[in-house]
Amino acid sequence: MPKAESKNMDTEKFLQYVQAENKVEPKDMMPEDYRKLLVRQISQHAHSEVVGMLPEANWITRAPSLRRKMALLAKIQDEAGHGLYLYAATETLNNGEIAADRDSTYNDMLSGKAKYSSIFNYPALSWADIGAIGWLVDGAAIMNQVMLMGNSYGPYSRAMLRICKEESFHQRQGYEILMTLCRGTKEQKQLAQDALDRFWWPALMMFGPNDDASPNSQKSMNYRVKRESNDSLRQRFVDVTVPQAEFLGLKVPDKNLKWNEETGHYDFGDLPWDEFMEILKGNGPCNKKRLETKRKAQAENAWVKEAAIAYAAKQENLKKGLIVKNSW
C-alpha cells in the first residue's frame, strides 16, 4: 500500500487489496471508515480484557487451594497483558484526527461511551462460576479470536497470535475446575450445573447480535477484520461445547436444543436479546460496579503512572546528556 494518508482514497481499491489477503500496516493509506472501525473494535477488545479480570480477581483469596490461586493469578496477569497488547495495537491508528491513544480510549470506557463484552457484567457467585467463565467465556473468546489472527490489520493480527496461545490455557483451566466438581459430591456437581445454567446464554450472546441485526459485523467482514459472521461462530461454539457438557454429565439449559441430522449441527433456542440490550444500555447486574471499580483503581493508582512517566523522562534526559546520573 502507498505510504500516505488520504481521506478520499478509493475505498473499492482498498477493499480489493484486503480481500486479496494483504495486510495493512500503520503507515499505509487506509479509509477513515476502516481506521474508525479498527479503533472501536480493538479498543473494545482491550477493555474486555481488563474488565474481564475483575470477577476472577474477586476469587483469588477464596480459591480452594494454593494451586488454584496460582493458576488464577497467572490467568489474571495474562489478561492484563492481553489488554496492553491491544491498547498498543490501537495506538498505532492514532493519526491526530481520530483519537486512538490509550488515555482517550480508556477514558471512553470509564465514561460509558465505549463498550466492552457484555459477559463481564454478570457476577461470579461461586467457585463453579469461575470454572464456567474459563470453559464457556474463554472458549467463546477463542472461537472468535482464532479467526481474528487472520484479520487484515497487521498489528491486530500479530497481537492475536500471542493472545490465542494463552487463551487456550484459560479454557482448559476452567474445564478442569468443572470436571473436578462434577466428579465430587452431589452438591458439588449441582454447583457446576448451576454455573452452566447461569453462563450458557450470556456466553452465546458474546458473539454479538444475529447477523441481520448487526451492520457493524458485515462492515468488519468486508474489510477482512472479522473473518466469520456472528451466527456462524455461535453455531460452531454450540456444536463444540454441547458434547463437552455431556462428557461432564451436565445438561445444557435449552429445551429446544437437539441434533439436526440434515444440517449436521445442533438446533438451539432463541437467545434472550432483551437482556442483552439492557446490558449494553448499562443496566446489567454488574455494569455500574465494574466501571466504579475501574474508576477507583485509576484514581487511587494515578501515582504509579505519574512515577513511570517521570522515570521515562529522566532516562530520556540522561541519554541526551541533559542531566547527570544520580542528580535527582
Whether residues 133 and 241 fall in one domain: yes
Whether residues 259 and 318 fall in one domain: no
Task: Give a yes or no: residue 278 inside a domain.
Answer: no
pLDDT class of 100 with cuts at 50, 70, 90: very high
Those residues with Cβ within 8 angstroms of residue 257's Cβ, 6 or more apart along the chain or in another chain = 238, 242, 266, 267, 268, 269
Whether residues 302 and 255 fall in one domain: no
Whether residues 32 and 158 fall in one domain: yes
pLDDT digits (tens, 9 = 90+) for 4-45: 444 556 889 999 999 999 999 999 999 999 999 999 999 999
DSSP assignment of 242-285 equals HHHHHHHT---S-TT-EEETTTTEEE-PPP-HHHHHHHHTT-ST
pLDDT digits (tens, 9 = 90+) for 152-209: 999 999 999 989 888 888 999 999 999 999 999 999 999 999 999 999 999 999 999 9
Domain extent, residue 308, equals: 286-328
DSSP run (H or E) holding 84 = helix 66-91
In this structure, the number of other CB atoms found within 10 A of the CB of residue 94 comes to 17
Q: Which residue has the cell 473494545?
A: 44
Among 198, 180, 68, 187, residue whose Cα is nearest residue 125: 198
Whether residues 229 and 315 fall in one domain: no
Task: Give a yes or no: residue 281 inside a domain.
Answer: no
Whether residues 215 and 171 fall in one domain: yes
Whether residues 16 and 148 fall in one domain: yes
Look at the alpha carbons of 47, 48, 54, 56 in this order and tell me if their dihedral is positive or negative: negative
Q: How many domains does the chain have?
A: 2
Task: Give a yes or no: residue 82 inside a domain.
Answer: yes
Rounded Cα distance between 24 and 190, Å, is: 49
Q: Among the three residues 245, 271, 297, which one is the final residue of a domain in this structure?
A: 271
- CA distances to 122, 195, 237 from 118, rounded to whole Å, are 8, 17, 17
Task: Give a yes or no: residue 1 inside a domain.
Answer: no
Whether residues 84 and 153 fall in one domain: yes
pLDDT digits (tens, 9 = 90+) for 31-90: 999 999 999 999 999 999 999 999 999 999 999 999 999 999 999 999 999 999 999 999
